Amino acid sequence: MITYTFLQHYWWFLVSLLGGLLVFLLFVQGGNSLIFALGRDEAERSLLINSTGRKWEFTFTTLVTFGGAFFASFPLFYSTSFGGAYWVWVLILLSFVLQAVAYEYQSKPGNVLGRTTYRRFLVANGFVGPFLLGVAVATFFTGSAFIVDKGAMGDSLVPVISRWANGWHGLDALAEPWNWVLGLAVFFLARVLGSLYFLNNIDDAGLQPRLRRQVLRDGVPFVVLFVGFVGRVLLGDGYAVDADGHIVLTPYKYALNLVQMPAVGATFLVGVALVLHGLLRTLWKPGFRRGIWSAGFGTVLAVTALLLAAGYNGTAYYPSTVSPGSSLTIANSSSSYFTLRTMAWVSLLIPVVVAYIAYAWYAIDRQSLTRKELEKGEHKY
């Protein structure tokens, strides 16, 4: 029997999975943040750009689909967070816009701004995109200052359902240190994944040793920050729906979620283990180039599990610090039963989409990218 509750959980799972895939695909941004740090000459920088340049559309499309899926399944989040935390989202979007054009334009004659500027756009997106996305996700655990009042639609002068409780409109998230911690953790994770991806995708003797060193340089701060944030989440309080339907602060809520939902807890642990495996094996085994598969898959699992812990088991996934009753749960923010069910039918196409992406990816990446291919390649950025 497909119940409303089942559909809300199903769609939260899909949104969480898309979130996990998005963080994994941020290897494009992480890699781009290293263009100038790793690429010592034009040939190397060109290799790096062409390597992520063949994948950027997947990251971009996943971001768009993540937004679309959130809109369709949990529209109250879409309206509350995007309309409220305005500046955070606008800055994220701006950085992705700059990235979208930078690949195609950076090497083209007549590009107005010059090659270096476009490459700086890629680097800027590599810094800003993962960091701010991490900050935005951190607010799922630390809370935001908003008020939701659906009855306000009856006010003919100010018919506003969701309103931000301060004038900072999202920049206030930067006043919370733990948001910085996750933002930086995601940033360093993206860089680790970027280096691991380059190791796998580029066959170049000059870059390989530097990429391994870079994995270590970014891996250490990532692990420290990630452990710190997870520690805070597991040991801190969380917003939960009590027996009366009120949203209250509950000690160890997220830790309890992982224990009370063993499958989610196990997924999280397996994900973390796979990320560490990909990272450590790359560092210890000189010829190992497939760390991206393990770390990437682990990232998807760990992030998906974290988001599931944020939304399942009677938890408010988007808590309000100023009006706990306004906090968003998967029950009070979702679309109707009819829409979720209709969308569930459409979601059955996802395996087909994944299959053709995998095949196309396999066909393009059968051989690693080399300087030789770029010299004689029929299309390059």
Question: Which residues, other chains included, contact 335 with Cβ-Cβ below 8 Å and sequence gap of 6+?
Answer: 11, 72, 73, 74, 75, 343
> Which listed residue (263, 350, 370, 375) binds another protein by CB under 8 A?
350
What's the closest the beta carbon of residue 223 comes to another protein, in angstroms?
32
Query: Tokens 């937004």 label which residue?
Result: 67
Near another protein by CB under 8 A: residue from 242, 336, 370, 375? 336
Locate 9 and state its tokens. 């959980």
Contact 16, 307 (CB under 8 A): yes
- Residues 90-119 as x/- pattern, contact with another protein by CB under 8 A: x--xx-xxx-xx-xxx--xxxxxx------
User: Which residue of 73, 200, 299, 320 would you call a contact of another protein, by CB under 8 A?
Assistant: 73
User: Which CB sits closer to another protein, 205 or 363?
Assistant: 363
Does residue number 161 form part of the binding site for another protein (CB under 8 A)? Answer: yes
135 forms part of the interface with another protein (CB under 8 A): no
Cα–Cα–Cα angle for 364, 370, 376, nearest 5°? 85
Find the shortest distance in angstroms from Cβ 173 to another protein: 15
320 belongs to the binding site for another protein (CB under 8 A): no
> 98 vs 279, which CB is nearer to another protein?
98
60 binds another protein (CB under 8 A): yes
The two three-digit tokens of residue 353, written as one number: 């989409």
212 binds another protein (CB under 8 A): no
321 binds another protein (CB under 8 A): no
Q: Does 159 bind another protein (CB under 8 A)?
A: yes
Residues 360-379 that bind another protein (CB under 8 A): 360-361, 363-364, 366, 377-379
What is the spatial distance between Cα 332 and Cα 238, in angstroms, rounded to a whole number? Answer: 17
State the number of CA atoms in the 13 A half-sphere of 336 facing the CB. Answer: 3
Establish if 84 lies at the interface with another protein (CB under 8 A). Answer: yes
Closest separation between CB of residue 125 and another protein, Å? Answer: 11
Q: Are 84 and 170 in contact (CB under 8 A)?
A: yes
- Sign of the torsion angle spanned by Cα atoms 217, 219, 222, 227: negative
Helix (H, G, I), strand (E, B) or coil at 328: strand
Please report how close the Cβ of residue 356 comes to another protein at its closest, in angstroms. 6
Kindly report the number of other CB atoms within 10 A of residue 8's CB atom.
23
Whether residue 88 contacts residue 132, with contact meaning beta carbons closer than 8 Å, is answered with yes
C-beta closer to another protein: residue 40 or 150: 150
Among 246, 263, 285, 338, binds another protein (CB under 8 A): 338
